[in-house]
Amino acid sequence: MVRPTSTAVPTERARVAVAVAFVVNGFAFASWISRVPAARDALGLSSAGLGLLLLCLAVGSVVALPLTGPVVHRTGPARGVLGGAALVVAGLLLLALGLSAGQVVAAGAGLTLVGMGVGGWDVAMNIEGAAVEQRLGRVLMPRLHAGFSLGTVAGALLGAGAAALGFPLPAQLVLTAALALVAVAVATRSFLPAEPAVEGAHRGGSGVGRAWREPRTLLVGVLTLAFAFTEGSANDWLAVALVDGHGIAQSTAAVGFAVFVAAMTAFRLVGGALLDRFGRVTVLRAGGVTALLGLLLFVTAPGLPFALAGAVLWGAGAALGFPVGMSAAADDPAWAAARVSVVSSIAYTAFLAGPPLIGFVAEVTGVLQALLVVLVVLAVGLLAAGATRPLRTAAAG
């Protein structure tokens, strides 16, 4: 990493601004995810039908992700985040309309727009976060992703409170959309200015094509995919599993999801210290084992306390995979936009394949047993953990 420079004051402002982008992203996402059971009931969906609805979210993200790297390369992270937020807002409003009318097609179209916005927003804010991390000269990405988790905690608690009070989900989504758009519009004004040196490093294009041919980038993508699948399966199915598998009320299930993201938040807050002391590879492998044990406990738990304990271990173990993958992809600032775009595209395949895969398996085995699919994916992904070792120089790889 480079040393801090005389631009410390604007860099500190940019650090706060990109942290806000992470928090709001998590808030907007979790305010919807925490009430998936209510959406399922409003639309009268089976487990397989719910999996297909959630697939719309992933399809939107996967469509947007390959395009985001070149867009951010040309327009900058600020516009990328703002454009992604605008799509999320439009999608939430359409989703609210679909739920109010009981129209699955409209709800699916809204989720597709949300997915497109979340994908673009995610890549752009990670590129900005990596740039700020380089400027500050210290590990920052786990804390930024902790901000995302804090946002998901707030969104999940909002969902739990709304469910307990009987507040309509469509109205909640409209409120979330308004808050998200205002917050992002203000925050992106303090992002870092464009870096001419980085942009000029590959004037012939965005570099995405080259990044897709780099073995290290692809392996980092596989590792990040495994952790994204581990995290995303909880986002999509933890609340449903508590309701259908453990017989918990919807309001309590939303709290259970909040427990999961709270555990992720705590470990992301201490993640920088752990990474500095033990290194990326050791921390990722230890986290993967912890997530595996937590998922097993959640699935086999004889009661709610054990299920919540499993959710804590599941969240803690999955916490650092995605932020470390983003940092590893952005080790060389000159190629950060291209590599982050490629790694994100690979990782978001988990969100494309995960919801329908678990949904279809749940039709046969039940939702708790279907979550065991995550064990296989995470075990395979951990084999690629060594690829996250930092590059020796900015020009390496």
pLDDT tens digits, residue range 105-125? 999 999 999 989 988 898 899
Instruction: State whether 180 and 217 are in the same domain.
Output: no
Q: Is 2 domain-assigned?
A: no
Question: What's the pLDDT tens digit per position in 294-310?
Answer: 999 999 988 888 999 99
- Helices (DSSP H) in 4-75: which residue ranges? 8-33, 36-43, 47-75
Q: Is 202 domain-assigned?
A: no
- Helices (DSSP H) in 245-329: which residue ranges? 250-269, 271-278, 280-300, 304-318, 321-329
Q: What is the CATH classification number for the domain harbouring 49?
A: 1.20.1250.20
Question: What's the pLDDT tens digit per position in 167-222?
Answer: 888 999 999 999 999 999 999 999 988 665 444 444 445 677 888 999 999 999 99
pLDDT of 2 reads: 39
Structural domain ending residue among the three candidates 142, 157, 192: 192
The Cα 107–Cα 92 span in angstroms is 9
Q: Is 397 domain-assigned?
A: no
pTM of the predicted model as reported, rounded to 2 decimal places:
0.77
Closest CA to 122 of 279, 228, 238: 228
pLDDT of 309 reads: 94
pLDDT of 352 reads: 67
Instruction: State whether 235 and 287 are in the same domain.
Output: yes
Question: What's the pLDDT tens digit per position in 367-384?
Answer: 888 999 999 999 999 999
Instruction: State whether 124 and 88 are in the same domain.
Output: yes
pLDDT of 1 reads: 39
Instruction: State whether 386 and 258 are in the same domain.
Output: yes
Tokens representing 182?
């205002």
Q: Is 5 domain-assigned?
A: no
Closest CA to 60 of 8, 152, 103, 122: 122
Q: Is 241 domain-assigned?
A: yes
pLDDT of 351 reads: 66
* Contact call for residues 310 and 297 (beta carbons, < 8 A): yes
Q: Give me the domain span that covers residue 87.
A: 10-192
* Domain count along the chain: 2
The Cα 389–Cα 317 span in angstroms is 19
> What is the mean predicted confidence (pLDDT) over 35-39?
83
Q: Is 3 domain-assigned?
A: no
Question: What's the pLDDT tens digit per position in 231-289?
Answer: 888 877 888 888 888 888 877 887 888 888 789 888 988 888 899 889 999 999 999 99
Instruction: State whether 117 and 220 are in the same domain.
Output: no
Q: Which residue has the higher pLDDT, 33 or 326?
A: 326
Q: Is 99 domain-assigned?
A: yes
